[in-house]
Amino acid sequence: QVQMVGSGGGLVQAGDSLKLSCAASGLTFSSYGMGWFRQTPEKEREFVAAIGESNSTTYYADFVKGRFTISRDNAKNTVYLQMDSVKPEDAAVYYCAVSRFYPPLRTTNGYAYWGQGAQVTVSS
């Protein structure tokens, strides 16, 4: 059974940094691309970043490009999202997910096996 367990969410001040982690089990982690999405009560779940099976190919939404960094450690079956220069509009629940396709898509239907979500709150 595939499980995705996210961690690292919390309260952060605008301008500061936060790092999210998502540990996977029950699958051959290194064979799958991974993605991060976020959702607020006002908006549908939106694409944030994705990474191919290795660390060589990454994809970002325009609104996080240059501020967020996605990476993975295949030895630890874990994908990360380093969030720098956080803005109030980055407040959301962040979800990790396993990509069904290569290259990873920017839509939710391209992903299976979602994590439980990590709440990120930003104080200004």
Answer yes or no: is pLDDT of 56 > 90.
no
50-55, long-range: CB within 8 Å, 24+ apart, which pairs? Answer: 50/99, 50/103, 50/104, 50/105, 50/106, 51/79, 51/104, 52/102, 52/103, 52/104, 53/102, 54/30
Nearest to 80 by CA among 21, 120, 33, 24: 21
User: In a 3-state reduction of DSSP, which class is residue 102?
Assistant: coil
CB 81 within 8 A of CB 68: yes
- The pLDDT, as a whole number, for residue 72 is 96
Nearest to 35 by CA among 121, 119, 120, 102: 102
pLDDT digit string, tens, across residues 86-99? 999 999 999 999 99
pLDDT digit string, tens, across residues 8-53? 999 999 999 999 999 999 999 999 999 999 999 999 999 999 999 9
User: Is residue 54 very low, low, confident or very high in pLDDT (cuts 50, 70, 90)?
Assistant: confident
CB 99 within 8 A of CB 110: yes
Answer yes or no: is pLDDT of 106 > 80.
yes
